[in-house]
Amino acid sequence: MRQSVGTTLSLIVIAATFSQTAFAQAPSRRPKNPPLPAQPAGPSSMAPLNQPVDIPPPPTVNDPMLAPVPAAKNNVGSWEQALEMVRARSTDLRSAYAQVKAAEAQSRISLSGALPTLTGQGFLTYNFLTKDVPTVTGFNPANGQVTTTTFTSPTQGPFVNGSLTAAVPIIAPRTWYSVGTAHRAEDVARLSVEDIKRQIALNVASTLIAVVTQERVVEINRIGFRSALERLELTQRRKALGAATGLDVVRAQQDVESSRATLVTGDEDLRKARESLGLALGVAEPIGVQQSISLNGIEKSAQQACHPANGIEDRADIAAARARVIQTERGIGDANWGYSPTLTAQSTLAATSVDTNQQNPTWNIQAVLTVPFYDGGTRDGQRRLAYAQTDQAEQSLINARRNAEIEVVQARRAVVVATDSRKVAADARQLAAENDRLTRAQYIEGEGTSLELVTAAAALRNADVTLALRDFDLVRARVVSLLALANCPF
């Protein structure tokens, strides 16, 4: 009778440990196990290890931590929706567009120096300090009398003076040259926007993949935690019937607490992943992902949003660095053109409300030639500064090319490494599952210990989590390899 009871309890233990493997292999939600008929007690009820065994359902367990992590208030349903949120809320992207507008405004300022100008001035004057000045206005020879008139100087007023001046640059080499330099600055700003788009696409894809992966890891953690609770419940029942020791119960409790600690850490990692996704999409709140999103779907969407570049030189950041070199080189030419003279034609129309007994209004046309003989060394300093800035831009371009070449090589190699790591993790998971099965089988026959049973179950849980993480690494490596040499015109 004792042997019959012990065999029945062993089968119950197998039910609990077997349920862990079944749940860990489940792709999404925990399946509901239908009740199975119990095996009759006795040695004859044992089936061969390679044959399926009818086992009773696992015991019912309850723990507050079995409840899943609450879903985020807002969830992303597709890659396109994520890009729409980025376009609307990304501060980096808006700042880059602002830089483009600033460069366009500076270009318009430079162009204004080569266009005609029209300036008007008006003055309303009232003089408080005046003096009466007698002035001889006539002489009568007959009587020798002199006629005088008193004038107030300056005119007390109020009186109005006005002028209108038009100026047209005829020869202005430096001004014309600066217009081209400003256009180069616009090119740099636009290319910088394209590079920021590529970086944003990589960040969004990485955070989306991280959330999807962490959702899977959390699910695996809860399946393992439930299985650990079921094993503890069955071990406590065995101890009550005299088929297990207090050490077996302690080991099962240790396994439960280890699973609980893993569950707490995994839940927090999921919350952080959602918060990182929210920041990547431009909102200060956690953003989740809908169950319809898959890792492979994110990779395909990234391939559609970004197209491969022809080479390193076509990547946006390298093109921007190269355009920056051209812009700084033009700074040298701008400083050299500072030694050139300028010729401007201008015309002024002036009028006053004071009666001066002179032509009023007046109109003139002038040609103004300006020759910069000496300015105290300003132009020489500007030229030295331009040479230094050009050298800095050239070194930045060289450094950017080196980094880009290594980045592309590492990104492509990372795909191979991630593929191999994923295969290793899959093989390790298969071995862990087989080890768990054999350990349970030995435990039925009384050859194994509860320590081996708990250790095998923990190893299987870790292998499941590792495999999920390797899936994340593989998809992320593919996305990084795609975006390492691509442009994203979204």
CA distance 203 to 395: 27
| Structural domain contains residue 319 | yes
Is residue 407 within 8 Å of residue 195, measured between CB atoms?
Answer: no
Please compute, for residue 146, the number of CA atoms within 13 A of its CA located in the half-sphere on the CB side. Answer: 5
How many domains would you assign to the chain? 1
Report the DSSP pairing between strands 287-289 and 74-76: parallel
CA dihedral sign, ordered 317, 319, 323, 325: positive
Among 412, 202, 421, 407, CA closest to 299: 202
pLDDT at 2: 39
Query: What's 304's domain CATH number?
Result: 1.20.1600.10
pLDDT at 175: 93
Report the DSSP pairing between strands 117-125 and 159-171: antiparallel
| Structural domain contains residue 214 | yes
Q: Where are the beta strands (DSSP E) in 54-213?
A: 74-76, 117-125, 131-140, 145-153, 159-171
| Structural domain contains residue 46 | yes
The residue-averaged pLDDT of 445-468 equals: 85
Out of 133-137, 266-270, 298-302, 345-349, pick the least confident: 133-137
Among 59, 58, 17, CA closest to 443: 17
Q: What is the pTM of this model?
A: 0.73
pLDDT at 56: 56
| Structural domain contains residue 43 | yes
| Structural domain contains residue 413 | yes
pLDDT at 307: 86
Q: Is the pLDDT of residue 3 over 60?
A: no
Residue 434 corresponds to which tokens in the numbers above?
A: 């087989």
Q: Which domain holds residue 429?
A: 2-109+179-330+382-487
pLDDT at 51: 47
Is residue 66 within 8 Å of residue 279, measured between CB atoms?
Answer: no
pLDDT in tens, 201-238: 889 988 999 999 899 899 999 988 998 898 888 888 88
Please name the residue that has the structure tokens 């006795």.
42
pLDDT in tens, 22-69: 333 443 333 333 333 333 333 333 344 444 444 456 677 888 889 989
- Residues facing residue 121 across a β-bridge: 163
| Structural domain contains residue 289 | yes
Q: What is the greatest pairwise CA distance in the chain?
A: 168
Out of 5-19, 182-196, 372-386, 470-484, pick the least confident: 5-19
Please name the residue that has the structure tokens 């992943």.
273
Q: Where are the beta strands (DSSP E) in 297-414?
A: 307-308, 342-352, 362-370
Averaged confidence pLDDT in the chain: 84
- Residues facing residue 10 across a β-bridge: none
H/E run at residue 118: strand 117-125
Please compute, for residue 227, the number of CA atoms within 13 A of its CA located in the half-sphere on the CB side. Answer: 28
CA distance 185 to 103: 6
Out of 165-169, 354-358, 374-378, pick the least confident: 354-358
Please report, as a single letter, which amino acid is at residue 387. Y
Q: Is the pLDDT of residue 438 over 50?
A: yes
Is residue 181 within 8 Å of residue 327, measured between CB atoms?
Answer: yes
| Structural domain contains residue 201 | yes
Residue 303 corresponds to which tokens in the numbers above?
A: 């391939």
235: burial class by Cβ within 10 Å (0-12, 13-18, 19+)?
buried
Is residue 290 within 8 Å of residue 466, measured between CB atoms?
Answer: no
| Structural domain contains residue 101 | yes
- Give 153-156 contacts, CB < 8 A, sequence gap 24+: 154/127, 154/130, 155/127, 155/130, 155/354, 156/126, 156/127, 156/130
Please report, as a single letter, which amino acid is at residue 28. S
